[in-house]
Structure 1
Amino acid sequence: MTPLTTRVRGGFWLPILVLAVPWGQELIDQLVFGGQWNLPMEPGGSFLGVLTAPFSHAGFAHLVSNSLWFLPLSWLVLLQGRRDYLAVWLGVYLMAIPVWLFWPYGSHGLSGVVYGLLGYLLLVGWLEKRVGSLLLSVFALLSYGALLPSLLPFLSPPGVSWIGHLSGFAGGVLAAFAVHKEST
């Protein structure tokens, strides 16, 4: 078995297991709490909100939308390795802290992680300068580049946390730099 095959097989279930958490939360929220049990990251709220925000959504439409981006981007990052995947999550959480501390609005959902995964994928190929990683970055840009306008406040739809997207993207970029630095 090739190293790539091992990584693909070993990482396939990880994003699905991660995704089970927000789906379970949303099911409980809708069935038991009538859609009122959200776990957002709120200004002045508990630090726990930073940790729970990616797993809380404003209904099934929000969750489905994030899930459709989250799974393929997760699998693409996992082609680089589990360490890289963990680095993206840590980067996203790290960059969410200033938003929690200083941004006047709350937010929640996996979209920050989605943008973190995308930020990582767009940068890692250019840092590593390996054919496989470069192809991964180009593929991510061509396949998911349409998400990039939502990083800007004037191009983001009303009610969508562009700052959550931007901080998540910055977390992914930070992860790409950290992983690259560690491997050189």
Structure 2
Amino acid sequence: MLARRAKSALFVSACLTAGIWVVYFLTIPFQTTLLPLLGILPRQLEGLDGILFAPLLHAGTGHLLSNSLPLFAFAFLVLLEGVKRFAAVAAICWLASGIGVWLLGGGLTVGISGVVFGLFAYLMVRGFYNRDLLQILIGGVLFLVYGSLLWGILPTAAGISWQAHLFGAAGGVAAALVLRRRGDVPRIRTQKRARP
């Protein structure tokens, strides 16, 4: 069962990562037109559609390369919980990042890094909401390996949308809360007293 799920997760995460690359290569000749047209333009009505399309676009090979490995790894780990769970987590992170950038961003924004930060945050905190020791341990290992990513939620580098990272991560935490396992909250059970 786990092997089948891992195989499926590997396939879907590989397809997702490859799909982003396919879109990138197909759009290279049109980037000067497409990026302003389909990217997020903060606080402008014509930039609203960027909430949906901006994560599919990248401003260069280096930009896409920096997102590809973490996207593949984090998507794989979330997909181990199932495709439906992954779709819900990704959608929440996608929308949270995009809306946050549209409201508070500083300029034209494209790229899937907000979703990557969201998946990372989800994996970091889900174990605490689910009260799952294995998930907490996985989150700890991820923090040791990828913890430096968290600097990306701060305005430390010009040309990088820390707003996309911050709101994507907030979306990941929200997804972990909204999608937490039900029935984990202890219930007080009353026992009937035997009649004398």
Check whether TM > 0.5: yes
Is this contact kept in 2: 1:40–1:49, CA < 8 A?
Answer: yes
Is this contact kept in 2: 1:90–1:171, CA < 8 A?
Answer: no
Partner of 2:13: 15
Structure 1: gaps (5+ residues): none
1:79 aligns with 2:44: no
Partner of 1:88: 89
What is the Cα-based RMSD across aligned positions, in Å? 1.9
Partner of 1:110: 112
The one-character-per-residue Cα deviations of 1:27-68 (angstroms, maximum 9, x if unpaired) are 1222x33x4232311121243211111110011111111112
Partner of 2:130: 128
- What secondary structure does 1:109 align onto? coil
1:159 aligns with 2:130: no
- Give distance in 2, aligned partners of 1:97 and 1:91: 11
95-104 or 50-59, larger mean C-alpha shift: 95-104
Structure 2: gaps (5+ residues): 185-196
Q: State the TM-score, normalized to the length of structure 2.
A: 0.82
- Give distance in 2, aligned partners of 1:146 and 1:104: 23
- Give distance in 1, aligned partners of 2:154 and 2:69: 21
1:63 aligns with 2:64: yes
Once the two structures are TM-superposed, the CA of residue 104 in structure 1 deviates from its matched residue by: 4.2
1:178 aligns with 2:178: yes
Residue 93 of structure 2 aligns to which amino acid in structure 1? V
User: Per the alignment, do residues 183 and 175 of structure 1 end up closer, same or farther by CA in structure 2, a change over 3 Å counting?
Assistant: farther
The one-character-per-residue Cα deviations of 1:73-110 (angstroms, maximum 9, x if unpaired) are 11111223323311221211331224314434221111
- Give distance in 2, aligned partners of 1:173 and 1:17: 25
Whichever of the two has the greater Rg, that structure is 2
Q: State the TM-score, normalized to the length of structure 1.
A: 0.87
Residue 69 of structure 1 aligns to which amino acid in structure 2? P
